[in-house]
Each structure stands twice: as C-alpha cells, then as structure tokens.
A and B are shown apart, each in its own frame.
Chain A
C-alpha cells in the first residue's frame, strides 16, 4: 500500500520534472517561430540579443538593439497606429466554410478562432489617426498566414465598399501568404473581386494607401496589395509574387542577398517608400492630411 503511494508520488514528481523541462525549453523555441513570445525576457529572432518584453512592446514591437520589426497581431497594429478608442469594427459575423472538404480545415479554423480571437485573417472598420477619419483594414498573419479565402476576399471588398459609402480614405495593412489553398478556385476569384472593387474606389476619386508588412506574397500581392495610390512598406518586409523557395526550385540558383525585401523593391521602383514602424503613424497622418477634402 505504502509502496504504491510512494511509487505514484515518485511518478508525479517525474512528470512535474518533465513538465518543467518543456517549460524551460519553451523560450528557446521562439527563435524558430518569428513571433512575439510571452514572458519577461525575450530574444530577438534576427540579432539574437535579449531584451525585456515590456520595453519591446513599448517600442512598438521593434527590437531595441537591431530594429527588427516583429510580426504584429491585428489588434496590436491598431493600437500602435490609430487613436485610442477610435476603432469601430465593421463586417462582423462571417463564417468560413470548407468548399473542397479538406481534412482538418474546419478544425484548424476553429482552433485559430479561439487562439487569435478573430473571425478571420482580416478586420476592418472606421478609425481615426490624430483626429482624421479613415477606413482601416488590417490583415493578421497569425491566422492561417493571413491567407485570402472567400471570407477575407469578401471582407476586403466590403471594406472598400464601406470607404466608398462613407467617402473616406482607405488604409490597409497587409500581411499575407497569398490565396488560401484550402478554398481552391474560390480564393483565386477573390483576386478579381478585390481588384475590381478598387477600380470602383479609384473612379470615385478616393485615396487608397496600402502598407505592405512582412510577409506579403502570392495572390494578395498580385491583387489589391499592389494597387495602392501610395504603397508604403515596413523595413525588410518580404514582398513578392512567388515565394523564395518556389523561385529557388524553379531556377535552381541561389537568390541574391536581400532579394524580395522592401529595400530591393524600392530600388526596383515597385513601392513608394519604406517607413520605419516608429514613423508610420506620422507618415500616414501627413498623407491623409494632404488628401483631406477641401485642402
């Protein structure tokens, strides 16, 4: 009897120890996933230096030592960009379906909904930057790499239409791996849909600023992301049509240093300006101010 008790206690301790080990190992894993990890201290995924998470967040999610821009959740992006409490979310209640019956897709969406507390990879709504009204849309790469399926395509189109109804400028923060494979041809068609809606916005003489953040690739780059009146980008963001891995496989060569990064695209004339995250709010404000009606 007593022996059994001891045995179970011993096993419990063993379990606790192994739990402890995984707990200790966790901070190391952050270098693999380029995410903002939780905890008191963190390590930069680029330069490897340690910093206090609190400081990094206060610094708008930029590494204090090397200036690496961490990937942001949509809510954090809104917090650092727009006026506090000015956001009014629109386009709620969309439900993602599974048109091709891909195994595990619905489940993945369900878990991501819980984890990210978002409906889909894109949110939009009314907001203000230093008192100037605008329609803001933000993609979140934590939700299926921010990929564009039917719901994201619909919401992007809705946000464009909302800007047309309210006659407000539209600013979009883009972070996406491209069209969502799990929804097949429907995802592809969203490219035509969003581009067509932007054409209507253009005909109405409204401003569209697209801000490309890390990463912006695939069908999203090849549709609404590249169609801004002004295209801004964050430093070192990966921007391109095909992913680097695909290009490498196709041409069977090493890719040049800095290929498909924001600075590379700036040099090739594909984007207007690379803006540091610290100056993003001010830059957007200046642009919006210049396009204000009656000025």
Chain B
C-alpha cells in the first residue's frame, strides 16, 4: 500500500473526528490518529517519498515565502524577453536581514499549474534568477533558493531561446558569487533545472523531498525503456534526503512534522526558518573570497571514482 492510500485512511479518521461530539470518543480517535501517523511514516520507500514530494497539498514556494520571510517584494522579468511565472524571485527580510529569494513555483490546482507551467522554467526564468542573484551579489545580500521543479521545460521555444545556455550561464556565474547561497529543496529537485539555482554553499532538503538527475519515469524509460518502472527506478536512484546526505551531496535534512509537511505547514516553516538562521550564522565574519572558495571546493570534490596511483609503481616497474 503506498503512502497516498494510507493517507486517505487518515483523512477518513479526521473526518470522523469532526462529526463527533462525545469527548471520550474524540480522545480515542485522536490517539488513534497519532498512532496512525506515526505508523504511516515507518518504513517509507523511496517511491513513497516521491509521492509525498509531489503531493498537491504540499506547501509551495509561495507558501514558504509567506510563512518564513517578511515584507516580500516580488521582482519580475529578465529585461530581455519576458517574465517566467515558473520562477518566483524577489527581496524580503529574514529576521531583519534583507535576502534575495529565488524559487520555482508549483501550483496546487490545474489552473495554477498551467499558469506556472508545472514549475518547469523557460530560459527567461533562469535569466531572471541570474539577474536578481547578480543584484544580490552587488548589494551583499545572501541568496536563498527554494527548489521545487520536475526539471527545465523541454519545448520548441525553450530550445530556441537557449535553455542549455541559460542553465550553463547560471552555474558559471553562481560559482563566483561572493555572497552566501543557501538552497533548500522543498519538493522535487529535478535535473539541471534544479541545479541551475542550486549551486549553493549549503544545500538542505526537506525530509520527504527528492533530488535526482532525472524524474524516476524518465530514468526508467532511458535505462530500461519502460516508463512504468518508475517505482523500481526510484529505489535504485538514491534520490531521498537520507541517501543524499550519506553521499555528501547535501549539508542537512530539515525534519518534517508527522504525516509530511502538508499536515502541519506552520511547523514546517518553523523548521525551515531555524535552518536558514543557523546556516546564515555560519557565514558571519567570513570574507567573500572565503565564501566563493568554499562553494567552489565543495563542488570540485564531488565525484565517485578511483584513480590509479602511478606513484605506487615506482621501483616496481622500471
């Protein structure tokens, strides 16, 4: 039974709770719900986490911005082609400190999703992000990116306007910013579309979010020529927060409340806020050179391979 079906059962219990008046019955059902929530999250498979990461009730980027930051002013456009609604960007205060926020916006309904293109940005979205990140670098504001995208949009317009170049340019310039960049993966972190705003000093993931080279569906169709094997693909891809922390790709995991982020958004925002605060504090009194170098060395080191050491052969082979 996957997590969504389990959740339906939970919602049924919660509906029952609303109809009841008797105090004793309420208490018993409440404890039942607690138990159920705890059991529900036991032994989550990778696929369950994929489903949770894509959950349509999951707090979106806009929700997180409202919940965590103050005085958010959204800024629009790449000054070149247009404004991509798949990427929200702007400036805000975080505990009194001005920061720049960049994030991909998923909708909760079909109409919203059509407007934001299912959080799949076009090149102009990435160029807007880059413009505002450069602005942040100029005014010495930390950059906080909120990642939630299945990937960059594959379409005729996107290709004609240089999707690949836009992503590459983001990576190129992000690696040289002198201000701290903190990335938080809220839901799906899909391929280059996520990395294009995710080249950060510190990357954090919500417990039930995913970060991968491709969607499990795409992965299965490439490796096994069968998109319906997405479930199996999710298991081998090592895309959960726990796997990625173990591999040293991310800095930390932000715990979600029982049942997932959408069961208690306020608690989720609080956890995110705490993480950002702690992360920002670690950059106090660090020079911009140190920050840039730390980011570069972090990515420079990532790789899983061996190198044959010729030094060992000295004296053996002549």
| A interface residues, Cβ below 8 angstroms from B | 92-97, 99-102, 149-151, 153-154, 157, 179, 181-193, 195-200, 202-203, 218-219, 221-227, 240-242, 246-247, 250-251, 253, 255-256, 259-260, 264, 268-270
**B171: shortest Cβ distance to chain A, in Å?**
4
Which one of A100, A190, A200 lies within 8 Å of B303 (CB-CB)? A190
**A7: shortest Cβ distance to chain B, in Å?**
43
Which one of B152, B168, B213 lies within 8 Å of A195 (CB-CB)? B168
A192-B195, A195-B175 as given contacts; A99 in contact with B164, CB under 8 Å: no
**A278: shortest Cβ distance to chain B, in Å?**
27
Interface residues of B in 214-256 (CB under 8 A from A): 214, 218-219, 222-223, 236-239, 244, 247, 249
- Interface pair B175/A185, CB less than 8 Å apart: no
A185-B247, A195-B171, A198-B172 as given contacts; A241 in contact with B303, CB under 8 Å: no
- Interface pair A226/B164, CB less than 8 Å apart: yes
- Roughly how many angstroms separate A195 CA and B160 CA in the complex, as a whole number? 22
**A239: shortest Cβ distance to chain B, in Å?**
8
Q: Which 4 A-B pairs give the minimum distances between C-beta atoms?
A: A242-B154, A93-B308, A196-B175, A195-B171
Answer yes or no: B90 CB below 8 A from chain A CBs: no
- Interface pair B308/A251, CB less than 8 Å apart: no
**A172: shortest Cβ distance to chain B, in Å?**
13
Answer yes or no: B191 CB below 8 A from chain A CBs: yes
16 contacts between A and B (CB under 8 A): A92-B310, A93-B308, A93-B310, A99-B304, A149-B305, A150-B304, A179-B213, A195-B172, A195-B175, A196-B199, A196-B299, A199-B173, A222-B163, A247-B155, A250-B155, A269-B162
Residue total for B at the interface (Cβ-Cβ under 8 A):
54
- Roughly how many angstroms separate A197 CA and B176 CA in the complex, as a whole number? 10
- Interface pair A227/B212, CB less than 8 Å apart: no
Residue of A nearest to B212 (CB): A185
- Roughly how many angstroms separate A191 CA and B193 CA in the complex, as a whole number? 12
- Interface pair B237/A242, CB less than 8 Å apart: no
Residue of B nearest to A190 (CB): B303
- Roughly how many angstroms separate A73 CA and B168 CA in the complex, as a whole number? 26
Residue of B nearest to A155 (CB): B305
**A33: shortest Cβ distance to chain B, in Å?**
18
Contacts of B171 in A (CB 8 A): 191-192, 195-196, 222-223
Residue of A nearest to B196 (CB): A222
Inter-chain CB contacts under 8 Å: number: 185
Which one of A94, A102, A157, A226 lies within 8 Å of B165 (CB-CB)? A226
A93-B309, A185-B238 as given contacts; A192 in contact with B213, CB under 8 Å: no
Chain A interface, >50% SS class? helix
- Interface pair A185/B162, CB less than 8 Å apart: no
**A183: shortest Cβ distance to chain B, in Å?**
7
**B195: shortest Cβ distance to chain A, in Å?**
6
**A132: shortest Cβ distance to chain B, in Å?**
26
Contacts of A198 in B (CB 8 A): 172
A222-B163, A226-B165, A227-B172 as given contacts; A154 in contact with B303, CB under 8 Å: yes
- Interface pair B236/A100, CB less than 8 Å apart: yes
- Interface pair A96/B305, CB less than 8 Å apart: yes
Interface residues of B in 162-213 (CB under 8 A from A): 162-165, 167-169, 171-173, 175-176, 191-192, 195-196, 199, 211-213
Residue of B nearest to A246 (CB): B154
Contacts of A189 in B (CB 8 A): 195, 249, 299, 302-303
Which one of B161, B211, B300 lies within 8 Å of A193 (CB-CB)? B300
**B149: shortest Cβ distance to chain A, in Å?**
13
Q: 15 more A-B contacts (CB under 8 A) besides A99-B304, A184-B238, A222-B168?
A: A93-B309, A93-B310, A97-B304, A100-B236, A150-B303, A181-B214, A187-B213, A192-B175, A195-B168, A222-B171, A222-B192, A227-B169, A241-B159, A253-B156, A268-B162
Residue of A nearest to B168 (CB): A226
Answer yes or no: B307 CB below 8 A from chain A CBs: yes
- Interface pair B213/A242, CB less than 8 Å apart: no
Contacts of A179 in B (CB 8 A): 191-192, 213
- Roughly how many angstroms separate A174 CA and B162 CA in the complex, as a whole number? 17
A100-B238, A195-B168, A195-B171 as given contacts; A153 in contact with B303, CB under 8 Å: yes
With most chain B CB atoms within 10 A of its CB, the pick from A101, A186, A196, A226 is A196
